[in-house]
Amino acid sequence: MASIKYNPNGQKGRISYNADIVSGIVVLSLQETEGIELVPSKSRGIKICFEKEGIFADISVIAHYGYSVPQLAYSIQQTVKQMVESMTKYRIAKVDVHIQSVIFPAAAPAQPKPENTPEGEARA
């Protein structure tokens, strides 16, 4: 469990965040990123490690076909960093992004070609 001392207006007290809170913020930031899905597992593919230098995040996601993988990874890194640092007093030291697989669109069933009917004839 990680903790941080916070003293607004001279009040005594302490605010503490645990890894589950930070993981929840990371999940929210990933849901904001278009073109990815979370890895379906208990940990959702998110590992958080609190170190002296800051938080180290290891994130695994599934990409949608048609999105640039480098752009997705960069977007995830920036979104996670911005949201965690704005919602907590922690600093993000590193965000590693792993693209586990790609989801391809389902093939559309072949549609029958319309029959050419001469003008004046009605189709039954």
What per-residue confidence (pLDDT) applies to 2? 54
Q: Answer whether residue 41 shows pLDDT above 70.
A: yes
Q: What three-state secondary structure class fits 46?
A: strand
Segment 48-62 shows an average pLDDT of 94
Residue 6 to residue 19: CA distance in whole angstroms: 18
- Please identify which residue in the block is written with the tokens 């990409």: 63
Q: Could you report the per-residue pLDDT of 68-97, keeping only the tens digit for each?
A: 999 999 999 999 999 999 999 899 999 999
Segment 35-49 shows an average pLDDT of 89
Whether 31 contacts 46, CB under 8 Å: no
Residue 1 to residue 20: CA distance in whole angstroms: 9
User: Domain limits of the chain?
Assistant: 15-103
Cα angle, residue 80 at apex, residues 62 and 3 outer, rounded to 5°: 125
What per-residue confidence (pLDDT) applies to 31? 92
Q: Which of 35, 1, 26 is nearest to 81 (CA)?
A: 26
Cα 118 to the chain's mean position, in Å? 55
CATH number of 15-103, picked from 3.20.20.60, 3.30.70.1350, 3.60.21.10, 3.40.630.30: 3.30.70.1350
Q: Could you give the maximum distance between any two Cα atoms of the chain, in Å? A: 89
Q: Predicted confidence band at 114 (pLDDT cuts at 50, 70, 90)? A: low
